[in-house]
Structure 1
Amino acid sequence: MTDATARFGGFAEEYDRVRPQPPAELVPLLTQWSGKAEPDVVDLGAGTGLSTVLWPDALGVEPDPGMRAVAAARGVRVVEGTAEATGLPDACADIVTAGQALHWFDPERTFPEIARILRPGGVFAAFDCDWPPTVDPECDDTYRSVEAHYRVLEVRHGVRPAYATKADHVARLRESGLFRHVSELALHATDTGDAARFVDILRSQGGVVALLDRGLTEDEIGLTRLREVAERRIPHPRTWWWTYRIRLAVV
């Protein structure tokens, strides 16, 4: 997870300000699947604690000190570690989660580590929201166009680290042979945002952060174009609809 950590280093406060919080329905869903009324929860790649905080006593595992500081400030218990090497004892969790993070983990090392810290019958849940949120059709089109452009720039400037395609998470979990059941579903959430936040959502993506750090301008990346569209199409705060894809695996 070293490369991914470097991409988000020094960016914790802005990340926390614009990123959405996962749906609260995750808690009863995973609690029911775990079969425990009060499960012990570990959140891998906890970041600023946006998903960890859904659980009253969850433990976050996060390698970046800036992210850990923001998480701790919101009252989250968080320790230094990675998904590949948590430093936690065997069979210490009923539920392990990874929000907006599994694609950055090395699956060959992470899946055995998850299986090690889960108790028999424990549940692993990896969840990601779709980018962008559903707000406006023209903003949606422009966001996707700019996203495609910055991904080309990532390769050109050598700032794209290794990552696992999110669409293949379920297949990788099944092929690992470590989980007796793997499933997938979608949950939804809403919040509110304005034009500035819509642009900052894209600006919070690791690739954009890396390109800005390399000295590329917002014009070159496409953020200026997205801002012009967003300010015209979202003149005041509106409801945003988020789709979350949840991958469930039981040991």
Structure 2
Amino acid sequence: MTDATTRFGGYADEYDRVRPRPPADLADLIRQWAGADRPDVVDIGAGTGLSTALWPDALGVEPDPGMRAVAAARGLRVAEGTAEATGLPDRCADVVTASQALHWFDPDRTFPEIARILRPGGVFAAYDCDWPPAVDAETHSTYLEVEGHYRDLEVRHGVRPAYAAKTDHVARLRDSGLFRHVTELAVHAKDSGDGHRFVDILRSQGGIVALLERGVSEEEIGLTRLREVALRRIPEPRTWWWTYRVRLAVV
């Protein structure tokens, strides 16, 4: 079975090229909840630093060396570590973030680690964007069909790591007993891209990469069909609409 900590290794540059950048409004929201204009921020599961870059002087924590190299190349501070074992001192952060990552963490080990490194009143913010972006009805429905099919293929080929359902994040945070207030809200963002990038968004999923490496064809996965629809419906760059689901937990 694939290990989630190495699931995104080997294609950091491609991941960084096509994935969306979290909106500045997200940082403004978290600053307000933390009550600090320049909070000390730790971004766990930082990947290539797309979320880390929202914050001046933030520290990214990432297990994959390829991802860390891309983050460091853009001038970000990044350290080796995991969400379950950051290696950081107690009460070193006003804000801890996890972008597109919380579902891969072991909550029984991660939540105590987050509570340990947060200062009193600090905020844990875990956010994920809905896949795919809202661009066009036909491309949207085709993406979801292909996504459902490739999830089945992941299980069949044994490349799906253990993960926690995103819909249960809030309940798990509350049930941990480590946070005095937990809530969820949505932040919206705009982006742009053409049909090629739309397909590459799905190709940036770790499961797709793992299946292709196992020799499963693009035709079998459904990428060929998605590409035909996306290039026909989005031949030129158009506005993309993203919804970010934000879970806020205060210690």
Q: Do both proteins adopt the same fold according to a TM-score greater than 0.5, normalized to the shorter chain? A: yes
CA distance in 2, matches of 1:38, 1:21: 20
Mapping for residues 1-251 of structure 1, pairs under 5 Å: 3-251=3-251
CA distance in 2, matches of 1:10, 1:63: 13
Q: Deviations over 1:6-63 (max 9, x none)?
A: 2211110000000000111112211111112221000000000000000011000000
Q: C-alpha displacement at 1:209, in angstroms? A: 1.1
Distance 1:23 1:38 in 2: 17
**In 1, Cα distance between equivalents of 2:148 and 2:233:** 21
State the Cα distance separating 1:226 from its structure 2 match.
Answer: 0.2
1:161 is paired with a residue of what secondary structure?
coil
Per-residue CA deviations over 1:97-155 (Å, capped at 9, x if unaligned) read 00000000000000000000000000000000000000000000100000010011011
Structure 1: which 5+ residue stretches go unaligned? none
Shift of 1:206: 1.2
User: 1:159-201, CA deviations, whole angstroms, 9 ceiling, x for partnerless residues?
Assistant: 1110000000000000000000001110011111011000000
Aligned-pair CA distance for 1:5: 2.4
What's the CA shift string for 1:186-224, capped at 9, x where partnerless?
001111101100000000111111101111110010000
Size of the alignment, in residue pairs?
A: 250
Structure 2 CA distance for aligned equivalents of residues 34 and 246 of structure 1: 14
Q: Aligned equivalents of 1:7 and 1:43: distance in 2?
A: 18
Structure 2 residues not aligned, in runs of 5+: none
CA–CA separation in structure 2 for the residues paired with 1:151 and 1:28: 35
Normalising to structure 1: TM-score of the pair?
0.98
